[in-house]
Amino acid sequence: MKIVKLDETSKQNILSGLLKRDPNQYDSYAKTVQEIVDRVKEEGDKAVFAYTREFDKAEVNETNIRVTKEEIEEAVKSVDPKLLEVMENP
């Protein structure tokens, strides 16, 4: 697994990499994303756990995925307020 410390430079590098992708391939990305969304809608947590195992190589399940209120509050503090606003507005 590749771990990247997110700072302004790494954000720019990620953005540059995304912008270099071939726009002709977006349909194949959209198809893959839709398959993932459909599977999660159908199977719920079981699918999320399977994708986490596949993509992140992490073994999570209903017994070890719990997040405490304190962890959530700490995570919210570390997110850019503009991003939170976007996420909270439908």
Q: Where does the pLDDT of residue 56 fall: very low under 50, low under 70, confident under 90, or very high at 90 and above?
A: very high
Range(s) of the domain holding residue 37: 22-88
Do the domain assignments include residue 2?
no
Do the domain assignments include residue 65?
yes
pLDDT at 1 (0 to 100): 57
Do the domain assignments include residue 70?
yes
Q: Of 52, 75, 72, nearest to 62 (Cα)?
A: 52
Do the domain assignments include residue 51?
yes
Do the domain assignments include residue 64?
yes
pLDDT at 35 (0 to 100): 95
Do the domain assignments include residue 16?
no
DSSP state of 43: H
Residues 6+ apart with CB under 8 A from 51: 36, 40
Do the domain assignments include residue 5?
no
The token duo for 54 is 């596949």
Do the domain assignments include residue 45?
yes
pLDDT in tens, 71-89: 999 999 998 888 888 888 7
Q: Tell me the pTM.
A: 0.52
Q: How many domains does the chain have?
A: 1
Q: Is the model's pLDDT at 13 over the cut of 90?
A: no
51 and 65 Cβ atoms separated by less than 8 Å: no
Q: What integer is the mean pLDDT of 61-71? A: 91
